[in-house]
Amino acid sequence: MGRLVKHHLFWPLCVLAALLLFNLCYSPDFFTITMHDGHLYGSLIDILNFGSPLILVAIGMTLVVATKGIDLSVGSIVAISGAVACLSISKGPDQNSLVLILISVLLAVGLSLVLGLWNGLLVSVAGIQPIIATLILMVAGRGIAQLVTGGQIITVTSAKYAYIGSGSLATLPFSIFVVILVLLIALLTRRTALGLFIESVGCNPTASLMAGVRAKWVILSVYIFCGLCAGIAGLLLSSNVSSADGNNAGLWYELDAILAVVIGGTSLNGGRYYLTGTVIGALIIQTLTTTIYMIGVPPEITLVVKAFVVLAVCLIQSDSFRAAFAARWKTRHYPAEKEITRHVS
């Protein structure tokens, strides 16, 4: 039992289970999954589908956080990527041309890689603190996205593009497969030694350098990967609604992603990282959002409700909070004991 509680996934899974349980009690058909035209429908499927952009961004963020960094620009990259893809498609002669869509997707992904490289260069070569370095693109990126869309919402009418974010493969949403693919790529860090290097650089950069680890390359690569993840998330998001909104797409994603990483057990101090934890963290956030909409919390207080739940999640995960809580519990049981010792002394 003790080992179970110590496992890094224990508390995140508990929270997720509690959320799902609440939903089950509140709306018994929450777990119902139905089949229409070869597609599965249901709240759980929705959570996976709508949560996939956040999961992607959070996976990239995990590796950045593991190097003791942070990437605030992911929300902007989401917007830019979607905007570029949609612009390219909308300018094409035939919006359903597979070549056009491939070119547009590659363009968006390529641009996200470049943006990730930019962040990485600022952090690793120029030595700017990550929060500042990525703040630049967070602010400027919104502007770039608006520039690309011309301040308008670009809509596309391409069934093939829409497939990326809302189509389904083998009855499941296609986006889930995208997430699985990216997660597998991220998990490659565990198969190669990159994971070891990321953790060692995040934990002690000086010692890593002395041990011959190429810290600069490691840092550069995690920011590039994070940019890539955000770019793909931008494609999913814009394809799901068949439009690109430079102002609002991916807004505040960076914060949700950081939250997902932390809930998943990766410390902002860098070092050990947990990709599966991050996925669960992102699912918790998405489930929470869905739950709030489902139980019909008035829109003006949804953020407050979300804040309270997030606070609770963080407190449950905090070792010192649990210890303090346990201590209080004990003294409440034996209130007289403290008194006695005080008088004796």
Partner 1 sequence: MSTQKPILQMTKIHKRFPGVKALSDVNLRLFPGEVHALMGENGAGKSTLIKVLTGVYSIDEGRVEMEGMPITLHSPLESQAAGISTVYQEVNLCPNLTVAENIFIGREPRRFGRILWKEMNRRAAELLSERMNLQIDVTRPLHTYSVAVQQLVAIARALNISAKVLILDEPTSSLDQKEVEQLFRIMRKLKQDGLSILFVTHFLDQMYEISDRVTILRGGEFVGEYMAEELTRLELVMKMIGKELHLLEELPSLAEADQHTLGGEWIRAEGLGRKGGIEPFDLAIRQGEVVGLAGLLGSGRTETARLFFGADKPDSGRLTLPESAGTVRSPREAIRRRIAFCSENRKTEGIIGDLTVRENIILVLQAKYGAFKAISRKRQEEIAGEYIRMLNINPPNPDHLIKNLSGGNQQKVLLARWLLTEPQLLILDEPTRGIDIGAKAEIQKLVLSLSRQGMSFLFISSELEEVLRVSDRIAVLRDRRKVKEVTGKDMSQQHIMQSIAGG
What does the binding site for partner 1 look like in residue numbers (CB under 8 A)?
A: 191-194, 196-197, 199-200, 203-204, 206-214, 271-272, 345
- Distance in angstroms (rounded) separating the CA atoms of residues 227 and 116: 4
Q: What is the DSSP-derived secondary structure letter of residue 121?
A: I
Minimum CB separation of residue 140 from partner 1 in Å reads: 31
Nearer to partner 1, 62 or 81 (CB): 62
Min separation Cβ 331 and partner 1, Å: 13
Q: Closest approach of Cβ 224 to partner 1, in Å?
A: 14
- Strand-pairing partners, residue 40, are 35
| Torsion angle, alpha carbons of 163, 165, 167, 169, to 10 | 110
**Helix (H/G/I), strand (E/B), else coil: 53:** helix
Q: Hunting for tokens 């003791």 — which residue is that?
A: 68
- Closest distance of CB 326 from partner 1, Å: 14
Phi first, then psi: what are they for 154, rounded to 5°?
Answer: -90, 125
User: CA 131, CA 141: separation in Å to the nearest integer?
Assistant: 15
The CB-of-74 to partner 1 minimum distance in angstroms stands at 24
* Nearest distance from C-beta of residue 252 to partner 1, angstroms: 30
CA distances from 82 to 144, 153, 154, 188, 336 (A): 12, 11, 10, 27, 64
In the bound complex, what is the minimum distance in angstroms from residue 130's beta carbon to partner 1?
19
31 versus 325: smaller Cβ distance to partner 1: 325
CB contact at 8 A, 8 and 281: no
The DSSP bridge partners found for residue 41 are 34
CB of 129 to partner 1, least distance (A): 16
Q: How far apart are the first and last CA of the chain?
A: 39
Residue 9 in contact with residue 265, Cβ under 8 Å? yes
Evaluate whether 51 touches 282 at the Cβ level (below 8 Å).
yes
Q: Which is nearer to partner 1, 94 or 337 (CB)?
A: 337
Residues near 265 by Cβ (< 8 Å), separated by ≥ 6? 8, 9, 12, 274, 277, 317
Judge whether 31 and 45 are in contact, CB under 8 Å.
Answer: no
Beta carbon nearer to partner 1, 246 or 270:
270
Residues belonging to the chain:
345
Nearer to partner 1, 33 or 268 (CB): 268
